[in-house]
Copies of this chain bind each other. A is one copy, B any other.
């Protein structure tokens, strides 16, 4: 294998097409149901919400879907992203394992999110819409979409959970720098928002409410605006496969191949985009690989959720899908990995997990920050709290390999940097971070609101 530390690809190695896992799925991810009728949705229904190209991608059985050249032109601003051999971390752990990480923090907003925001904005522009509506919690997804809209001259209307809007201004400022219009949610711009403000003018908001407002604003705009989603949906997972496709090429340069892939998991897009191209090799060439999804103990949808039909959002306005869910009324504790606080999971991930193609583990908040600091001191990069979940498990795998004296090859996805999460590091050092275990009786409560389906 190569003696090098960093494996860079040239522009010409940027993937020409995304990998669509649909035709290779060993298990059915299930239908998408209308939240009202609870019947399978039609493309026309979804087309009111999303750009039509996205809807068509959701049902496509083409194995590779061409990345439009204007999207590749923008990808090239930061892609291909680096694959790095974490030699200094290996040394610090004194492990025989070889640890690699794919680093998505090089994007302008510091995460993998623009990989899907850019094509979504491109398709919307092609279809002549005026702009996007979307929701954002702390602002990671909103800043990626704001960037993408700025590139294509689209308006970007972001409904930002009010408590984050007030308390975490930084990503809001990034969005505004890219020219986005950011509104604290609940807002007076939607009927749903108005109804909530009427009850409580100081309503702190929630991600579920922000989704509902963004959806309402798009649906009621007579096609002027579409709604943009940052995870869960099949095409979003697919857009992220540039990450895994690049990593495959980079492992050729490294003259090596991973035994285990590790990624954090919230809605599932970062993990999917990273792992699916490797699963493709497994499905089509029999190349064995372990794929390990890491979730927080505070929100353990894969490891403790029920695999059933549930709403995608809190307000029961988003489609119903089959997934591992903690119940759409479940409000996860306020851990600092805000991007992993989702009650459900991408249906593709869930089907693969049920089928045994993906493993999952839940890790605590404190041990996650411990890993983040160990990584930062060895490799320099300060990881996002979400990404640090993957680091925790990568270190655990490396230590297990050491115990077994095994040359395990570990690849994890460092999906973003932590420059905008320094407050959480401060709380970690001050000993103020809490760990949350998900109690068994909580799930029964959370699942009471499941939709009642006809069959």
Contacts and interface: CB of A to CB of B under 8 A. Distances in A.
Interface in A345-366: none
B11 A382 contact: no
A177 B88 CA distance: 17
B376 A177 contact: yes
Nearest to A4: B11
Interface in A1-28: 4-6, 8, 10-11
Nearest to A105: B106
Contacts of A73: 5
A151 B380 contact: yes
A419 B417 CA distance: 10
Contacts of A110: 419
B76 A5 contact: yes
A71 to B, nearest CB: 13
Nearest to A376: B177
Number of copies: 2
29 contacts: A5-B11, A5-B73, A5-B76, A5-B77, A6-B11, A6-B76, A6-B77, A78-B380, A106-B106, A108-B379, A108-B380, A108-B381, A108-B382, A109-B380, A110-B419, A150-B377, A170-B419, A170-B422, A173-B422, A173-B426, A173-B429, A174-B382, A174-B422, A176-B429, A177-B376, A177-B377, A177-B382, A178-B376, A178-B377
Q: Which of A4, A177, A379 gathers the greatest number of chain B CB atoms within 10 Å?
A: A177
Nearest to A78: B380
Contacts of A376: 108, 177-178
A14 B207 CA distance: 46
Contacts of A177: 373, 376-377, 382, 425, 429
Contacts of A214: none
A204 interface: no
A228 B429 CA distance: 26
A173 B425 contact: yes
A147 interface: yes
A252 to B, nearest CB: 15
Contacts of A382: 108, 174, 177
A169 interface: yes
A67 interface: no
Nearest to A143: B382
Nearest to A147: B380
Given A108-B381, A109-B380, A177-B377, 9 more contacts: A6-B77, A77-B379, A88-B151, A106-B106, A107-B380, A110-B419, A114-B380, A173-B425, A176-B425
Contacts of A30: none
A117 to B, nearest CB: 11
B10 A8 contact: yes
A84 interface: yes
A120 B426 CA distance: 28
Contacts of A377: 150, 177-179
A115 to B, nearest CB: 13
A198 interface: no
Contacts of A423: 173
Contacts of A59: none
A56 interface: no
